[in-house]
Amino acid sequence: MKSDLETLLYFCRLAFERRLVCGSGGNISVRSGKYILITPTGYSIGALTGDVISKMEMDGALLGGGKPSKEFGMHLACYHCRNDVNAIVHVHPTYAVAVSCLKDSDRECAMPIYTAGYNARVGKLPIVQYAPPGSAELAAMTADIISQRDSVMLANHGIVTVGSELQSAYNIAEEIEENAHQYWLLGSSGRVLPASKD
């Protein structure tokens, strides 16, 4: 059985290989007992090693590893609002980011729903207005949505997904990117499904 650290490193590499991030973008965390493990700032998540992963207390105190991602406040805010959340994936996949940059987006449902899998795992995907990465404003808006659901789109930025463990949070991120890809392929020609999940 993999440790929390090994699992975190595995999904970091997977997210990089699947092009859900590029450069040093994106951040992933896992709740490990009474602490969190979160990716550090300034590193490609595809090339992380265990010694640079940041270990933090739930009040934000750094206990070891590298300097945490500037988005650590957003991760902590999401953990504090949901006891059942043990993993958070924040990535910048190409098609989802493109959707997040569209003008006049429906704030309650950022893109059409095309597949049964996406409908079951995501449904109506809300989008929060733009706020600078790492800001308290972005953390608060994101946590407000995450308090009621497992995913949110950040305007001109990316997506945040959560789960009881990293596999489920990661799966939602891939579902969102795949639906966003279909949206760009279909344009206004797609057959849209009614939402089964708000």
Whether 193 contacts 115, CB under 8 Å: yes
Q: How many helices (H) and strands (E) does the chain have?
A: 6, 8
CA dihedral 170, 85, 69, 171 (to 10 degrees): 0
Q: Which of 71, 174, 175, 177 is catalytic?
A: 71
Task: For residue 32, count other CB atoms closer than 10 A to its CB.
Answer: 16
Strand 151-154 and strand 127-128: pairing? parallel
**How many residues would you count in the chain?**
198
d(CA 23, CA 106): 30
| Active site annotation includes 71 | yes
Whether 158 contacts 97, CB under 8 Å: yes
Give me the amino acid identity at 148: Q
d(CA 65, CA 53): 5
Place of tokens 């808006």: 141
Residues with a catalytic annotation lie at 71
